[in-house]
Amino acid sequence: MALRERLDQDLKTAMRASDTLRRDTIRLLISSLRNAEIENRGALDAAAEDRVVAREIKQRRDSVEEYEKAGRTDLAAREQAEMDVLKAYQPEQLSPEDIRAIVETAIARTGAVGMADIGRVMKDALSEVKGRADGGVVNAVARELLKGGQG
C-alpha cells in the first residue's frame, strides 16, 4: 500500500478513535509531503517520501534533545510520542550489525585507513543505507572502526 493511502486510512482510524496525538502527527506528515510535492513541482517517488518522513523524525529527535536540555520534560515527551508515530511510516531500519557490515565494506572499498578518510567512507556507506539507518549512527560506527584502524 502506498504511503499516502496508508496515511489517509490511519488518519480516519485516529479520528474515529479520538486519538488526537496520532491524528495531529499524521496531518503534519501529510502537510510536509504536500509541501515537498510543491517544492518538487510534481509527485514524489517512494524514496523522496521516505526522506520527508526521515526529516520529520530527525526534527522531533532534535527537539527532544533541546527540550530535555531545557528541563521541559513535558514537551520532550510530546515530541517523543510524535516521533514514535512517525517511525511507523519509515522503511524498516537496519540492525546495528548490518550497519557495521556496510561500514566495514565501505572502508574496504574506499581503502580508508584513518579518520582523514571518514568523508569517503560516509559517502559510500550512506549511499548504500539510503534512509534505512540514521546518519549519526552510521557516522559513529565509521568513527569507531576508523579509530580502531589507526591504533
Is residue 1 predicted with pLDDT exceeding 70?
A: no
The CATH code that applies to domain 96-150 is 1.10.10.410
pTM of structure: 0.77
Task: Encode pLDDT of 47-56 as tens digits.
Answer: 889 889 989 9
Q: What is the rounded CA–CA span in Å between residue 59 and residue 83?
A: 9
Give domain limits for the chain.
3-87, 96-150
Mean pLDDT over residues 16-33, rounded?
A: 96
pLDDT of residue 140: 92
Task: Encode pLDDT of 106-150 as tens digits.
Answer: 999 998 888 888 999 999 999 888 878 888 899 999 999 988 765
Q: What is the rounded CA–CA span in Å between residue 90 and residue 86?
A: 7
The CATH code that applies to domain 3-87 is 1.10.1510.10
